[in-house]
Amino acid sequence: MSSKDKDRAIVVKRASPKKSGHHGGAWKLAYADFMTAMMAFFLLMWLLSSASTVQLKGIADYFNQPLKITLWGGDRSAEDSSILKGGGRDISTDAQGVTRSTDGSSSRAERTASHNNDDAVKQLQGALERQEQVRLHDLQVKLMAAIEANPVLRQFKQQIRIDSTLTGLRIEIVDSQKRPMFATARDVVEPYMRDILREIGHTLNDVPNRIIVQGHTDAVPYAGGEKGYSNWELSADRANASRRELIGGGMDEAKVMRVIGLASTQNLNKADPLDPENRRISIIVLNRKSEEALNHDDSTTTTLSDDAAGSKPLLQRLAQPVTVAPKLPAAAPPAQ
């Protein structure tokens, strides 16, 4: 090798790797469009799930004929704060051809006010019911204390039962074989029974609630059966005699709302209808709800219209004279 070859520079050529072309960002646009569509879909589903029935009806009416109403309008279109007029009739009214102009705030305010009023009424009713329960409980405690404080009544406390029911406070004076409340088969009040009723009547004036007096007998029938004087008349007469003694004790006579004779239809001892304990007087101190229900029943009337089908034959039959059978003499009553 010559000296000239040694001094020559050595050049090494290396080929760089071939670069591929750029793919572009079209997929990013497609992905963004997809995410936007999904967001819009979920927003639509959320709005539909939170819409009321009336709002859904308005949306359905809009899509019935949106293009015609949007372009030309009409008498049956609803005018609200939206730029586009909704389709169909105004669902807030039953009148045909009536339009409204509102942003919806007034209807929301009315619904909110109505809801608040309903809540206030319910709270007031609940407070009144709780107050009444406290008042009836105090009456129960006061009656029991009065019985314990009276030496005459204390010996008969086993015959006096006081408990709470759905209709109010129930005070029952139960008969027994050893201590009958009334004379046999009569409505004459025994002396100790008179003391009990008058003490109860004096205490009932402490509450504004009205009362019902019920008379009960056992199932021992009269000799004449149910045709003459029976347990129905006896229970009613005894209830009315008890009412007189309550008033005699100082109770306001306007507090009495009903005086009822129930005979042996509501036995205390259902297993033995002849049990003397079934003979009793019940005094129901009505709560407000029960009293309102009875007042509503009293004010509800039913009339027979002449226009009813077949009314003329019925009225003609009613106009016919009726033959009344002669009343049979009442048989002697058994021991009650």
Sign of the CA dihedral 314, 315, 318, 319? Answer: negative
Q: What is the mean pLDDT of residues 100-120?
A: 60
In a domain, 212, yes or no: yes
Q: What's the pLDDT tens digit per position in 190-240?
A: 998 999 999 889 888 888 889 999 999 999 888 766 678 899 999 999 999
Sign of the CA dihedral 165, 168, 169, 170? Answer: negative
In a domain, 325, yes or no: no
Grade residue 331 by pLDDT with cuts at 50, 70 and 90. very low
- CA distances, 78 to each of 74, 81, 111, 333 (Å): 9, 10, 20, 80
How far is Cα of residue 168 from the mean position of the Cα atoms in its chain? 16
Identify the helix (H) or strand (E) that includes residue 217: none
Identify the helix (H) or strand (E) that includes residue 284: strand 280-286
In a domain, 244, yes or no: yes
Q: How many domains does the chain have?
A: 1
Contact between 216 and 205 under an 8 Å Cβ cutoff? The reply is no
In a domain, 70, yes or no: no
Rg (CA), the chain: 44
In a domain, 151, yes or no: yes
Between residues 5 and 153, the one the model is more confident about: 153
- CA distances, 201 to each of 91, 131, 244, 316 (Å): 60, 22, 10, 50
pLDDT of residue 157: 84
CB atoms within 10 A of CB 234: 22
In a domain, 221, yes or no: yes
**Residue 251: half-sphere exposure toward Cβ, Cα within 13 Å:** 28
Specify the CATH number for the domain of residue 281: 3.30.1330.60
In a domain, 20, yes or no: no
- CA distances, 193 to each of 35, 190, 239, 242 (Å): 88, 5, 12, 9
The tokens for 192 are 């100790």
Sign of the CA dihedral 278, 280, 286, 287? Answer: negative
Residue 86 DSSP symbol: B
In a domain, 66, yes or no: no
The per-residue pLDDT of the chain, averaged, comes to 76
pLDDT of residue 147: 83
Identify the helix (H) or strand (E) that includes residue 336: none
Identify the helix (H) or strand (E) that includes residue 169: strand 168-174
Closest-CA residue to 152 (of 179, 114, 126): 179
Q: Is the pTM of this model over 0.75?
A: no
Contact between 190 and 180 under an 8 Å Cβ cutoff? The reply is yes
Domain boundaries, position 201: 131-298
Q: What's the pLDDT tens digit per position in 240-298?
A: 999 999 999 999 999 999 999 999 999 989 999 999 889 999 999 998 888 888 888 77
pLDDT of residue 212: 95
Contacts 24+ apart (CB under 8 A), 72-77: 75/99
Contact between 156 and 197 under an 8 Å Cβ cutoff? The reply is no
Contact between 262 and 147 under an 8 Å Cβ cutoff? The reply is no
Sign of the CA dihedral 91, 92, 94, 100? Answer: negative
**Which residues sit opposite 258 in a β-bridge?**
212
